[in-house]
Amino acid sequence: MDSTVRSTLPGTGTEASARRRWAFLIDRRLDRYPTGGERYARLVLAVLATVVIYYEQYTLGAVSTLVSQQLGMSFLFLTTGLAVANLLGAFGSLAAGLADRLGRANIVVYGMLVVGAVTAFAVTQVQDKWTFMILSTIVAIMEGMLLVATPALVRDFSPQMGRARAMGFWNVAPPAGSLLASAVAALTLGSLVSWQSQFRIAGIAGIVVALIALVWMKELNPALRDQAAVSEEDRELLEARAARGEVNVDLAHPWRQLLKVDVVVPAVGFSIALLFYYTIVGFAPVLFTTVWGFDLAEANSVIAWAWAFNVLLSLTYGALVDRFLVRKPWILGGALLCIAMQIVLITLVGGKPSYLTLAIIMAVLATSWAGFAVPWYAAFTETVEARNPALTATGLAIWAWIIRVVVFLSFLIVPHVVTSANTLVAAEPYVAEAERLQAAGQAIPPDLAAKLGEIQQAAAVTGDQWRLWMWIAVVCAVGLAATVPLLRGRWSVQKARADLAEHERRRAEELAALGG
């Protein structure tokens, strides 16, 4: 056959070469279990992607007061809009359960490109509050999918003996995203002024990381990821099973398989325990400016310190948890510290704590969140694996759906508990006008005087209202402690070590049988 004719046939010549050259855009499968430096590099990329996703998601929290004022959003409108966005994002998380069938990496890569583009180029052009909320909802749906796919990738590349360390890296993402949002706002709001600048910076960062992931992000092929690895030494056994076609996978009725008490109830307990965390992420500037009189830059600076300590513990804490092979005692200890620090913060409401005092308390509180989250993620994914390792993404989708429904309810309820915030968030223009009139020696008009009276009344009750919300958060943290026994895994280090020794014995026997 003539070479010219041959080159135009499907699957031959230049067309086949072109398809192979661009195959990396879709086909991201690894046919071997990565170890050593390669495994850590793939974990780091998944974590980096998650950090940027959270950065984009949390940018609004850093400039919520500016957005509210410039787009004419009341505190009630803002919280209700965010609640609806999180509710719809919950269903995006459920859709991401398909990652067990379709894979994880492409969801992350192309979802990040969409979120980055909308954040950088669409949100920054918004002129009214309704368009802003519609775009925020679209982003929330996409992020709901992404934040199921990324922890699924982390689980795939981390055997159980290193799971807490890997999940500690992944847990860096939410506080690191918040830290980025707060730090960038604290550093640039003075010069760039506009809230649009913060979304533009976040969106461009998202696009850059998405392009890196487009080239480098990979995932295990289904035969490998559908098995549970206890240690890196299991790699040879996992690959041998996959090569011989001996991986039995049950993907029928995935929701029915995982909608069980030991999966659902701990996910609820974990989600409600973070009630005050959601409050800080979404409304830290509102809380710190209305209760303790901080300005926007100071509020973001305090929160930046909190997230910095959370990141530091997340990076180091997982190795300690993995060393002892147990999860439950660490989860319980973190929950108790969270309860204690929230009570300490409650005692400061109505007082005049210094910047340093609040920074230290928030740093310890943020540390407690990492203290129970890192071992909880490890325990939860291992609980799902115990039921069906092939349905890890489905289990994470259940958790993500629950946590977003809890966020939806919290955002819906908080403005009805802290009713004063609606008045105080919108107070600045009225106070500024009154100060201008007084400086000019002019009388304050009756309507402005009435508004100032409303502001004073709101300021008088806001401390009590925030205190009530914080007590609700304390009760929710107690709920986490109550659900710890439902998770799989040991309380005793000695028994956990005995389980590991038995696993190693069985692995050696199976490898010997496969070799024979």
Tokens representing 100 are 């067990």
What pLDDT, on a 0 to 100 scale, did the predictor assign at position 100?
Answer: 56
Q: From CA 226, how far away is CA 208, in angstroms rounded?
A: 31
Q: From CA 162, how far away is CA 155, in angstroms rounded?
A: 10
- Render 140-205 in DSSP notation, one character per residue: HHHHHHHHHHHHHHHHHT--GGGHHHHHHHHHTHHHHHHHHHHHHHHHHHHHH--HHHHHHHHHHH
**The pLDDT of residue 475 is above 60:** yes
E strand or H helix at 104, and its extent? none
For residues 474 and 480, the answer to whether their CB atoms sit within 8 Å is: no
| pLDDT-based confidence at residue 240 (cuts at 50, 70, 90) | confident
What pLDDT, on a 0 to 100 scale, did the predictor assign at position 193?
Answer: 62
Tokens representing 495 are 């028994």
What pLDDT, on a 0 to 100 scale, did the predictor assign at position 25?
Answer: 67
What pLDDT, on a 0 to 100 scale, did the predictor assign at position 7?
Answer: 39
How do residues 389-448 score in pLDDT, each as one tens digit? Answer: 888 888 888 998 899 889 888 888 888 887 777 676 666 677 677 777 777 777 788 787
How do residues 169-185 score in pLDDT, each as one tens digit? Answer: 888 887 788 778 877 88
| pLDDT-based confidence at residue 97 (cuts at 50, 70, 90) | low
The stretch 456-461 carries a mean pLDDT of 77
Tokens 């490890």 sit on residue: 378
Looking at the chain, the whole-number percentage of residues with pLDDT higher than 70 is: 89
Q: Counting every residue, how long is the chain? A: 516
What pLDDT, on a 0 to 100 scale, did the predictor assign at position 3?
Answer: 42
**Exposed, middle or buried: residue 346 (CB in 10 Å: 0-12, 13-18, 19+)?**
middle
Q: From CA 400, how far away is CA 407, in angstroms rounded?
A: 10
For residues 50 and 217, the answer to whether their CB atoms sit within 8 Å is: no
**The pLDDT of residue 147 is above 50:** yes
The stretch 258-266 carries a mean pLDDT of 93
**The pLDDT of residue 95 is above 80:** no
What pLDDT, on a 0 to 100 scale, did the predictor assign at position 9?
Answer: 40
How far is C-alpha 497 from the chain's CA centre? 32
What pLDDT, on a 0 to 100 scale, did the predictor assign at position 86?
Answer: 77
The stretch 145-165 carries a mean pLDDT of 83
Query: Which CATH number among 1.10.3720.10, 3.40.50.1100, 1.20.1250.20, 2.40.110.10 corresponds to the domain 37-226+262-515?
Result: 1.20.1250.20
How do residues 110-144 score in pLDDT, each as one tens digit? Answer: 888 988 998 889 888 888 889 888 888 888 888 88
Q: What is the pTM of this model?
A: 0.80
What pLDDT, on a 0 to 100 scale, did the predictor assign at position 4?
Answer: 41
Q: From CA 11, how far away is CA 18, in angstroms rounded?
A: 10
Compute CA distances 26 → 29, 39, 217, whole Å. 9, 21, 11
The stretch 281-291 carries a mean pLDDT of 78
Strand partners, 30: 220
